[in-house]
Amino acid sequence: MAITLKNAHDIEMMRVACRLASEVLDFITPHVRAGVTTGELDRLCHEYMVKEQGTVPAPLNYQPPGYPPYPKATCISVNDVICHGIPGDKTLKNGDALNIDITVIKDGYFGDTSRMFIVGDGTILAKRLAQVTYECMWLGINQVRPGAHLGDIGQAIQTHAEAQGYSVVREYCGHGIGQVFHEDPQILHYGRQGTGLELQAGMIFTIEPMINAGKREIRTMPDQWTVKTRDRSLSAQWEHTVLVTETGHEVLTRSALTPPPPPGSSYVTSFAAST
Ligand code: MF3
Ligand code: CO
Ligand code: CO
């Protein structure tokens, strides 16, 4: 499948879809507390999307080749679940670390973003893993500009994760996105600087590193969706949808409660004034 370059209209539509996806995370934030079930969080998100936003939850009934239809509106991945956790009757307790991953469709365009949440007092490890994974995502975003290579993103992420003794999940990656949920190119979260596809203005893709506190190997559960760490170590993930601009990048999945970029990073890069 070819890589689609987005035109000005596509980009405007993607800004809206991506902001709406981020606003679902803003909406659900005060509900992420000990005692709530992941199924209730999913129900609240689903209702907000349909009734408040007029968006469609992209995961619901999503069925890539070889998978059963995904049964819920969101993915909620707790502790050793790496990704694609199916919301259900699991009750959150103090110390749980979870990722909520939201993809909405608005007027045919997809916005995809996820954040980590920690219930009450997380362990030092859980907080550190979430923080380092956030830094990994941003180190990847900071590489995005015309002329850079996909391997620059992968190497930046892998180097930081491995320097902390953590590992990068290989089986899942970021992806092009637009009027299709998952399109080319694949955005690997590991690699070598200077290798891979050269970035061009108008590309839109996600960066969504999955970082394990232990080994990188995965185990897929019998539901055929839920992916856990094989060694039962904690895993963390953050995700933004990013546009390659003439001057660098624009992070599209932002809203009022989006955590700020780390020092030295920014949502939008622009040429410095040259006078
Ligand atoms: N939102 C996920 C991603 O970042 C994909 C979820 S597919 C689902 O690509 F079917 F599990 F929802
Ligand atoms: Co994604
Ligand atoms: Co996602």
- For the CA of 72, the closest atom of ligand 1 is 12
- Domain boundaries defined on the chain: 8-274
Q: What is the pLDDT of residue 271?
A: 77
Residues with Cβ within 8 Å of 163's Cβ and at least 6 positions away in sequence, in order, are: none
Q: What is the pLDDT of residue 2?
A: 85
Q: What is the pLDDT of residue 272?
A: 65
Q: Does the CB atom of residue 86 touch ligand 1 within 6 A? A: no
Q: What is the pLDDT of residue 60?
A: 98
- Cα 218 to Cα 221: distance, rounded to the nearest angstrom: 10
Of all protein residues, whose CA lies closest to atom 11 belonging to ligand 1? Answer: 84
Residues that place a CB less than 5 A from ion ligand 3:
101, 112, 239
R_g of the chain computed on alpha carbons? 18
Q: Does the CB atom of residue 75 touch ligand 1 within 6 A? A: yes
The domain made up of 8-274 is a member of CATH 3.90.230.10: yes
Of all protein residues, whose CA lies closest to atom 7 belonging to ligand 1? Answer: 59
Residues with Cβ within 8 Å of 242's Cβ and at least 6 positions away in sequence, in order, are: 141, 144, 204, 205, 206, 207, 249, 250, 251, 252
- For the CA of 84, the closest atom of ligand 1 is 11
- For the CA of 206, the closest atom of ligand 1 is 4
Was 9 annotated as part of a binding site? no
Q: Does the CB atom of residue 112 touch ligand 1 within 6 A? A: yes
Testing ligand 1's pocket by substitution, the residue of 62, 115, 116, 227 carrying the most ligand atoms inside 8 A of its CB is: 62
- Residues of the chain falling short of pLDDT 50: none
* Six-digit token string for 190: 């590991």
Q: pLDDT by residue (tens digit) across 170-211?
A: 999 999 999 999 999 999 999 999 999 999 999 999 999 999
Q: pLDDT by residue (tens digit) across 13-50?
A: 999 999 999 999 999 999 999 999 999 999 999 999 99
Supply the pTM of this predicted model. 0.98
Q: What is the pLDDT of residue 273?
A: 54
